[in-house]
Chain A
């Protein structure tokens, strides 16, 4: 019944994606926050954002702090409702929980149930995805080996270091073998080895034809792994396109393009 429902939703919503095969489709998205203080009006965090990410792309979502990246991700993941506009994952409106059946999410700050062991945590998430028991055990073994936590599978999360928590976070994001991976600052707080590991995993997923959507402040990394990027500033999409095309257009590296887009002016030395 769930499959029939998702199929009908897909066919209904495919009309919104005439080109087809869009993994993420954002249309005129607006996210508004109510004013906190007395007499304060609402704040528009995201203004009329249009974005389309296709199958197999590694897409970098960039912007300074407070640009609207997190708000956009919150709408995609169902943590927040859009004030106006729509967003779709695999053609299914993000308001439907089934839209998240084929995605994996790694938050920036990784906190998991401290009283569970590593394998219990993965088993819990696997149950939510309705993965059969035998397949679950096989995937747990493979993922714990991938993130190099096989030796501590029976240790409780509360005893993990920050790096270990980040790695178990990556494992839980991959438990359902997702077609779309959403990563929020995936290398934040990681040492160079950890960052290399994350880059390798992103590259591996790309080779498997998966789609990766991530936000980051590490422009060097973004330039290395991304096919396309978008830069958002003050809630508005300022530029989007292939990294190579943007570099050719602006005749400079990605960092300078970013600074130019956000209007940064260097202090002149007297």
Chain B
């Protein structure tokens, strides 16, 4: 566990010493504040659109941080040749994968906490209400979703030759699941065989990341999701995370590393 936590610590240090997080946070804050300064029909009480834009920027930023951080871990280690002094130590390739995953996930989680704090302060100060529970839930579920995404990207990083290809493919897959994943069963029913069966199979196989996006509940002041479903969704996410990490280990464990 020491090894894995040490590897994770290096990933977290890397993220906070690069500029990505700061740039994204400043952009998010700047755009949100500028949007908030706009007055539609001279009404200062309208806050819904600001919240929606802020939450959308938080989602995009978190996704970008997660995918770009995870995508460059293994390829950068190989390209920069830092993987050789690392694997020359008593470290298994599985530990490297888990350490990189954990570091990327924790680093993204820390970034997400900052983003949600900003959002919470922004919306609370406007509405004079502090829906802490629903915000905590939104953060937790989004973080769980990102564990699946990061594990998928880590698998992609040991499968695809170029990090850019990995990032592009994973981004498309994740956005595709978020936008149409929940509707594939409807689409399947409207198709002829065998296309319908194939779509249906995809529907049941993909991780349903749309469960983890409860921004609408936050936006429209809905009650929080019951904790038991939160827990089930978390276990679902961890299950898929384990599957992708296992697949990554299978792909990576015998891969020759050219010195």
Contacts and interface: CB of A to CB of B under 8 A. Distances in A.
Contacts of B20: none
B258 to A, nearest CB: 8
Residue from B10, B17, B90 having most chain A Cβ neighbours under 10 A = B90
Interface in A196-255: none
B84 A105 contact: yes
Classify chain A's interface size: 35 or more
Contacts of A74: 256-257, 259
Given A79-B256, A113-B14, A116-B10, A97 B82 contact: no
A80 B88 CA distance: 11
Nearest to B92: A97
Is the contact region of chain A dominated by helix, strand, or loop, or is it mixed? mixed
B80 interface: yes
A98 interface: yes
B37 to A, nearest CB: 36
A73 B80 CA distance: 19
Given A109-B81, A111-B81, A115-B13, A100 B6 contact: no
B91 interface: yes
A97 B86 CA distance: 11
A125 B81 contact: no
Contacts of B13: 115-116, 120
Interface in B2-52: 2-3, 5-6, 9-10, 13-14, 17-18
Given A127-B3, A127-B6, A128-B3, A79 B85 contact: no
A100 B259 contact: no
Contacts of A108: 259
B259 A113 contact: no
Residue from B81, B82, B92 having most chain A Cβ neighbours under 10 A = B82
A78 B14 contact: no
A233 to B, nearest CB: 20
B87 interface: yes
Interface in A169-209: 169, 172-173, 176, 182, 184
Interface of B: 2-3, 5-6, 9-10, 13-14, 17-18, 80-82, 84-92, 254, 256-257, 259
9 contacts: A77-B87, A97-B90, A107-B84, A111-B81, A113-B82, A115-B14, A115-B18, A124-B10, A182-B88
Lowest 7 CB-CB distances: which A-B pairs, in order? A105-B88, A127-B6, A111-B81, A79-B257, A115-B17, A80-B256, A101-B90
